[in-house]
Amino acid sequence: MIATRSDGSRHEIPAPKTIVDWDEFQKALERALAASGRWRDAHARRDRHRVVGGGPCRPGSSGRGILAIVTRNALTVVLVSVLTFGGLMVMLELTTPGGLIIDRPDAQIAALADEAFLTVEGREIFFDARPRFRDEDELSQACDQRAFEPDDSVGGTTVGCYTGYDVISIFKPDDARMRPMMVTTAAHELLHAVYARLDPAERDEVDALVEAELVRVPADDGVHGQIAASVGDRSENRANELFAYLGSQVVLDGGFAPELEAYYARYFTDRDALVDVFLAFESTLDGSGVELENDWADTGRS
C-alpha cells in the first residue's frame, strides 16, 4: 500500500504480518469455549471480525483468501457440530436402557400399530414412545430385569414393558402364531405411555374410573392375576396397570363407564376388535393343544 506523508513524500506501508499461529490459537480457543458452551457464538464473531475488519486486499489480490477462510471455518463449524451431536447420541445410546431411537418407525412397527387399531392420536403416542422389538435377553435388560423371571403369582411371564425412559419394549418370538400376543402387548404398553402423558386432573379421573370398573370384571377372569403380578409390591402402579389391562383385554356387556370408554376411544378405533384379538389368542392357548414356544400360556406385561 502506498501512503503520502504530510510533506508530500510517498512511501510504501508493508502489509501486516501474522504474529500469531492462527491454527494453534484456533484450537486453544475452541477447547476453552467448547467447555463453556459458547463455541459457536465465538466462532461466528471471529468470522465476522476476520472478514469485515481485516482491511482491504492488497493491489492485485482477490477475495479468494477471505473466501477460503470463510469456507474453512464453515467446514470446521459443521464438523464440530456433527462430532458433538454424534458424541451426544453415543452417550445417550450407552446410558439409556434399550438404546436410543430417533428414526421413524419401520414397517413392522407401523404394521403392529395398524393391527392394534390405533387412532391418529394413538399412533402418535405409540411412535413417540419409540417401540422396539426384543428377544429374551434384550427384554430382560430393557425391562429392568423383571422379564422372564419366575413369579409365584398367576400372572405369568413378562412379554413387554414401558420404562420411565419413555420406551416401549415388546417381545418378538420366532413363532408367527404368537403375533396376537404382540398386538395385545403393543396396546397395553401404549396405554402406559398414554397414562404417563395425562395431566393430574385426567389421571385422578382415570384412577377412580378403573377402580370402579374392575369390580364389574368377573372374579374368574385371568386379568385379575395378571394385574396382581404386574403391580406386585408397587401399589403406586395399580391404577396405571388397571388402565392398561382393562383397555387392552377386557370388554364388558354394555361397555365400561362412558367416561372411561371416551378415554380409550381417543387411542383405539375399535377396542372391541382389539380385545377380540386377545380373546381369540387366549382361546387358542387354552383349547387347541397347540404347543407354542416357551409355553406362553400365561403372559404378563408391565
Q: What is the pLDDT of residues 23-70, one digit of tens each?
A: 565 666 566 656 555 545 555 555 555 544 444 445 444 555 555 555
The CA-atom distances, in angstroms, between 156 and each of 114, 159, 290, 294 are 27, 9, 18, 12
Does one domain contain both 132 and 211? yes
Please report how the helices 120-128 and 107-115 are oriented relative to each other, as an axis angle in degrees rounded to 10.
140
Structural domain that includes position 261? 107-300
Kindly report the average pLDDT of the chain as a whole number: 76
| Residue where the block lists cell 504474529 | 19
What pLDDT, on a 0 to 100 scale, did the predictor assign at position 153?
41
How many other CB atoms are found less than 10 A from the CB of residue 19?
Answer: 5
**Position 102 in a domain:** no
List, for residues 136-155, the tens digit of each pLDDT value.
889 888 887 543 333 434 44
82 and 179, same domain (yes or no) = no
Same domain, 217 and 266: yes
Question: Same domain for 151 and 53?
Answer: no
Residue 100 lies in a domain: no
Q: Is residue 101 part of a domain?
A: no
pLDDT value for 148: 37
The number of domains in the chain is: 2
Q: Which residue among 48, 75, 95 closes a domain?
A: 95
Q: Counting beta carbons within 10 angstroms of the beta carbon of residue 100, is it exposed (0 to 12), middle (13 to 18) or buried (19 or more)?
A: middle
Look at residues 36, 61, 95 and tell me which one is the last residue of a structural domain.
95
143 & 184 share domain: yes
pLDDT of residue 94: 44
* Domain-embedded: residue 251: yes
Last residue of a domain, one of 45, 75, 95: 95
Residue 232 lies in a domain: yes
pLDDT, residue 293, reads 43
Q: Are residues 196 and 216 in the same domain?
A: yes
pLDDT at 257 > cutoff 80:
yes
Does the pLDDT of residue 268 top 80, yes or no?
yes
Higher pLDDT among residues 248 and 150, named by residue:
248
